[in-house]
Amino acid sequence: MSETIFTKIINKEIPADIVYEDDLCLAFKDINPQAPIHLLIIPKKPIATINDIAEEDRELVGHLFLTAAKIAKDLGIAEDGYRAVMNCNKNGGQEVYHIHLHLLAGQRLGWPPFAS
């Protein structure tokens, strides 16, 4: 797949407000936050969309959710709650083609999210 802005963030070629990093993933603040807390949790392995997740990525994708839960606990937002969501392709509102979990928190979030 072609390189995205997130590869540059992983390689520290452009700055980001990184809140967590390990061998498999990186979490940083969204540049255009949609909630008081809005983080992006991305695998270091570039995978374009949910449709491109392979069988071999099973543990990696699980790791993204475990990382979201760990960060939420560390930030003290686990009990109040949060949303962890991944957009896919045009109708899902995906803009960056390197899968990422949005971790949104800090307020009561609206549902359903059908606004265009």
Which residues are annotated as catalytic?
100
Closer of 62 and 93 to ligand 5GP (Cβ): 93
Cβ at position 19, least distance to ligand 5GP in Å: 11
Cβ at position 79, least distance to ligand 5GP in Å: 25
Inter-CA distances, 47 with 10, 23, 56, 68, 76, Å? 13, 16, 12, 18, 30
Cβ at position 45, least distance to ligand 5GP in Å: 17
Binding site for ligand 5GP (CB under 6 A): 5, 16, 28-32, 40, 87, 93-96
